[in-house]
């Protein structure tokens, strides 16, 4: 991943690609979260392949891009027509392709303005949440550093853990207030699982279960931050009461 979708940490892709190439290993990067908010240069990154998708930057749903280095040879999974230079056969969705190209162009051009604005909103959101919940912890890189010419954290990502709370309870309580966020967890057989990202980072299961991701985008405003700041206190209190009741 160029940048992690849950905790927002930006990875040193150029450095990783150089290490991979030392051992003759081709490298692909998932840049879905990065394009349009971070400086992304395919050639300079040194990777062999890069993918992105339209719906993350205002483009059509279902349209994506796979960039390949000129020397990369792929074995196609679908055979027949020979479209896309024999990489993927099938009729092209031309309107979606054109829409995706336009969305990428607009998002990349606007990124130098939009990214700092999102980061400012994100920092305000984190500050106001932690003021209400001092025991909350922010997961991922703090975003104060620089990684390969850009910020070390996605500007629109805030990921926090709340001790004593179940993420799913917080999710439903905030949804009732008209606030959309994510636990980052997957469900198997109706049982919520802790975030595999946080577990891989060394967090305990309780911490991984009690986490939320808030994502800010081009439609986000200071009023949205105000709404979260006003709701989070009562929501945390109710979630903790529910957790204690279950524990009994």
Q: What is the rounded average pLDDT for all residues in the chain?
A: 91
* pLDDT for res 189: 41
Structure confidence at residue 148 as a pLDDT band (50, 70, 90): confident
Cβ-Cβ contacts under 8 Å for 20 (sequence gap 6 or more): 26, 27
Q: Which of 90, 187, 226, 234 is catalytic?
A: 187
- pLDDT tens string 155-194: 999 999 999 999 999 999 999 999 999 986 544 445 567 8
Instruction: Say if residues 202 and 139 touch (Cβ distance below 8 Å).
Output: no
Task: Give the distance, in angstroms, between the CA of residue 171 and the centroid of all CA atoms in the same chain.
Answer: 17
CATH code for residues 112-247: 3.90.1150.10
* pLDDT for res 76: 84
Q: What is the third-level CATH fold of 13-105?
A: 3.40.640
Provide mean pLDDT across the span 80-101: 88
For residue 165, indicate whether it is catalytic.
no
Instruction: Say if residues 212 and 167 touch (Cβ distance below 8 Å).
Output: yes
Q: At residue 219, what are phi and psi to the nearest 5 degrees?
A: -95, -5
For the record, the structure tokens of 226 come out as 């105000």
Cβ-Cβ contacts under 8 Å for 32 (sequence gap 6 or more): 5, 51, 52, 53, 56
Question: Domain map of the chain by residue range?
Answer: 13-105, 112-247
């Amino acid at each position: 991943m160029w940048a992690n979708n849950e905790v927002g940490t930006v990875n040193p892709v150029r450095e990783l690609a150089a290490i991979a190439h030392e051992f003759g290993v081709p490298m692909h990067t998932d840049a879905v979260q990065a394009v349009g908010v971070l400086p992304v240069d395919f050639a300079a990154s040194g990777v062999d392949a890069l993918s992105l998708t339209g719906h993350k930057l205002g483009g059509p749903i279902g349209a994506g891009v796979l960039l390949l280095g000129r020397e990369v040879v792929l074995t196609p999974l679908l055979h027949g027509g020979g479209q896309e230079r024999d990489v993927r056969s099938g009729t092209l969705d031309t309107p979606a392709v054109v829409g995706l190209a336009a969305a990428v162009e607009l998002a990349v051009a606007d990124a130098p303005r939009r990214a700092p604005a999102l980061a400012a909103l994100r920092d305000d959101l984190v500050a106001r949440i932690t003021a209400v919940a001092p025991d909350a912890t922010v997961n991922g890189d703090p975003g104060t550093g620089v990684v390969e010419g850009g910020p070390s954290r996605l500007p629109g990502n805030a990921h926090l853990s709340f001790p004593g709370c179940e993420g799913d309870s917080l999710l439903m309580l905030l949804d009732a207030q008209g606030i959309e966020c994510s636990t980052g967890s997957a469900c198997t057989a109706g049982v919520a699982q802790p975030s595999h990202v946080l577990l891989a980072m060394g967090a305990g299961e309780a911490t991984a279960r009690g986490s939320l991701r808030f994502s800010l985008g081009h439609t986000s405003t200071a009023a949205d931050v105000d709404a979260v700041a006003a709701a989070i206190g009562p929501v945390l209190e109710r979630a903790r009461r529910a957790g204690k009741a279950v524990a009994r």
